[in-house]
Amino acid sequence: MTFKSIIEEIENNLHKILSDLEVSNVSFTVEPAKPGFGDVSSNISFLLAKILKKSPQEISNIMSEKYSKFQHTLVSKVESHPSGYLNFFANWEKLNQLILSESNLEEFGSVDLGKNSTVVVEHTSVNPNKALHIGHIRNIVVGDTISRILEKSNYKVNVLNYVDDSGLQVADILVGFRHLGFSQNPPEGKKFDHYCGDDVYVKTTEKYLQDSSLEDIRKNTLKELEDGSSETAQFADEITSKVLENQLETCWNLGVTYDCLNYESQIIRSGLWGRIFEKLKEMNLIEFENEGKNSGCWVIRGEGKEEDKVIVRSNGTATYIAKDIPYAAWKLGLLEDSFNYKKYDKAQPGTRTLWQTTLDDTNEPKQNFAGDKVITVIDSRQARLQKIITTLMAKFKSSTDTYVHLGYESVTLSADTAKTLGLDTEGKQAQMSGRKGLYVNADSVYDLLKNKTIEETVKRHPEMNPSEIEKTAHQISVGTLRYEMIKQDLDKIITFDLTKSLSLEGDTAPYIQYAHARAARIIEKSGQTPSIDVNFSLLADPIELYLVRIIGLFDLQVRDSARNLSPKVISRYCHDLAVAFNSFYENVKVLGLGDENLEKSRLCLVHSFKITIERALDLLGIDAPNRM
């Protein structure tokens, strides 16, 4: 329960006071206090002002007096603040013991929001025609972090990756391979996904501008691609499988894993669309247009000033949204599952088994990856389409929050970083475009981060062996890349800068990881195994108590992050925790005190910080090195 324990104790007693006052239905808050307002504060006096016809300060005085008569364990005193807030001060000896003891438990920080219900998180979903670029990484890291946070909140999470293997971008590389003479073998030393994106895709799209006859070839290729039995479709499976394998290797390197790969080509051929189309008609969610520019089409009516959205053209062909609607319904378990399942050819790191859908017969058991709720991570440019799907699914399920679009803004590169990576942007930030070849693949950014980290680690620790340096550099590089993707609000554009992101000062992953390394070094130097069998009353310095307080907020931060689907809440918590520990490190001596009891108490605190920051960073998919 940690810091939540004192909040719940205060809430219970305030409800008793309201009962004595014969007042009900007052939605007051009890929250960790801002500096100068004790340890916990409540706004209850402001909410009672109209009811009791007294000023907030008068009510606060009354509440303070009444509260002192109730039994309380974790509150040492309560005060009325001149502003009207009711402020509570903790009994830190008892709260120290509660927080530091519970921080050693495996379930520390867990909350039960999900009640073991199932939620689907779909993310990544990159066309299998190119390497993942730095913009895709925001999607991937946001999706993976949300999945980790929801699992910590007692949801059963099914992580899906939608493979768009039948769209125009795939058709483009097929045109390149089959009609423009591109070899199927990349140059030596170049990954296949890099080759497809950098060479085949970009140069093929350039050729369209030079040779208009290629447009008919492109259209025919797309048509053949959607016919699963065609030679073109079989060739596409071969090419996209190789690209997907490389994309997954990039994701796995960043600590990202999945439960199931779903293929658009199979959704088209599965018959799901026909079934959902009939349901849409039965529920009057789509209408047939008899006149106007959409005559002969089935449409979804636009809301307000929005235009109607064509779902089936007048020639009977379905639009691209027709692929997304049945997939959305499948994720919610609204349609009978048309798929069989097989394990992916390569085992991914960790304990998760990676499955993939197939329309072929298999010997594997039927899987179920549907959920009570779906969260789909897609960039904000898809907001209109996602709004349509969200509205339709809400009508199917009679619930407004059953299908959630978690949008985010784009990632740009700082001018300096773009120049370092070989892009000339004339001193401007780099906006990425795969079609124009203006993008930086994620592997290149990772490699550059890693090389810089190895260089710095060798300078700081010449005694470290190469394998240890390699491991540490990997942990820092992945941590840096992931942290930069989630420390901003999702509705803010990220400008990624290599130099700033690797700094040991400020709001960076290395700063947080370095705080953990400091704690590990203190414990190592002590030669002791930290214990919770200590005198908690000895931890009385305000800097110590502040660190305990931040540690105790872990479960509240997990709760808020899960409720708001905000990875930033945990990244900010990690930074706050590191700042609190670094202040402790610089101002409070731990070893060589000449006081064995105090030393043990402070070692207990250091160890509590160490394991808490490890667990919080793990929610962000970031490792905590012992040496940096």
Number of residues assigned to the chain: 628
Is residue 406 helix, strand or coil? strand
Inter-axis angle of helices 214-225 and 202-210, nearest 10: 130
Q: Indicate the domain borders of the chain.
A: 3-90, 271-338
CB proximity list for 256: less than 8 A, separation 6 or greater: 124, 140, 141, 143, 144, 621
Q: What is the DSSP letter of 439?
A: -
- Do 259 and 354 form a contact (C-beta atoms < 8 A)? yes
Place of tokens 């059963």: 156
372 by Cβ neighbours in 10 Å (0-12 / 13-18 / 19+) ranks as middle
Q: Per CATH, which fold does 3-90 belong to?
A: Gyrase A; domain 2 (3.30.1360)
Residue showing tokens 């390197």: 253
Q: Backbone phi, then psi, for 86, in 5-degree steps? A: -100, 120
Q: What is the CA radius of gyration of the chain?
A: 28
Q: Closest Cα partner for 624 from 478, 499, 501?
A: 478
Token digits for 444? 């290149």
Burial of 197 (0-12, 13-18, 19+ CB in 10 A): buried
SS3 for 337? coil
Token pair, residue 274, equals 């026909």
Instruction: Indicate the SS3 state at residue 156.
Output: strand
φ/ψ of residue 464, rounded to 5: -70, 140
pLDDT at 498: 77
Measured between alpha carbons, how far is 373 from 127 in angstroms, rounded to an integer? 25
Query: Would you say 41 and 84 are in contact if contact means Cβ atoms under 8 Å apart?
Result: no
* Residue 609, CA distances (Å) to 236, 536, 596, 606 in order: 51, 15, 20, 5
Q: Tokens for 598?
A: 């105090």
- At 302 the pLDDT is 86
Sign of CA dihedral 550, 555, 556, 557: positive
Closest by CA position to 536, among listed 44, 6, 99: 99
Which structure tokens are listed for 436? 């124009």
d(C-alpha 355, C-alpha 423), whole Å: 38
CA count, 13 A, side-chain hemisphere, 579: 13
Residue 563 CB coordination number (10 Å) = 12
Determine the Cα–Cα distance for residues 11 and 16; give it in Å rounded to an integer: 9
H helix count then E strand count, the chain: 23, 16
Could you give the strand order of the β-sheet that contains 86-90, starting from the edge strand earlier in sequence?
A: 30-32, 40-42, 86-90, 75-80
**Could you tell me the two tokens for 47?**
């909410």
State the angle between helix axes of 3-20 and 542-552 in degrees (0 to 180), rounded to the nearest 10.
Answer: 80
Residues whose CB falls within 8 Å of the CB of residue 415, separated by 6 or more in sequence, listed in order: 425, 427, 428, 429, 430
Strand partners of residue 156: 118
Distance of CA 40 to the CA centre of its chain: 29
Question: For residues 61, 66, 67 and 71, what is the CA-based torsion angle, rounded to 10 degrees?
Answer: 160
- Short-list 125, 123, 124, 129, CA closest to 435: 129
For residue 483, give every residue at least 6 positions away whose Cβ sits within 8 Å of its Cβ, in sequence order, or none.
Answer: 501, 508, 509, 512, 571, 620, 622
Return all residues near 152 (Cβ < 8 A) that are at least 6 apart.
109, 110, 111, 558, 562, 619
* pLDDT of the residue at 432: 63
Amino acid 347: pLDDT: 95
Are 178 and 204 in contact by the 8 Å Cβ rule? The answer is no
- Measured torsion, CA atoms of residues 349, 609, 481, 260, in degrees rounded to the nearest 10: 30
Q: Kindly report, residue by residue over 54-75, the tens digit of the pLDDT.
A: 999 999 999 999 998 888 899 9
What is the residue type of 427?
G
Residue 330 structure tokens: 């499948």
Rounded Cα gap, residues 374 and 376, in angstroms:
6
Q: Would you give the DSSP letter of residue 34?
A: P
Per DSSP, which regions of 450-501 are E strands? 494-496
Among 13, 121, 151, 156, CA closest to 75: 13
Give me the residues of the chain with pLDDT under 50, please: none
Instruction: Kindly report the three-state secondary structure assignment for every residue of 110-147.
Output: CCCCCCCCEEEEECCCCCCCCCCEHHHHHHHHHHHHHH
CB of 390 closer than 8 Å to CB of 405: yes
**562: which 2 tokens?**
């899960």
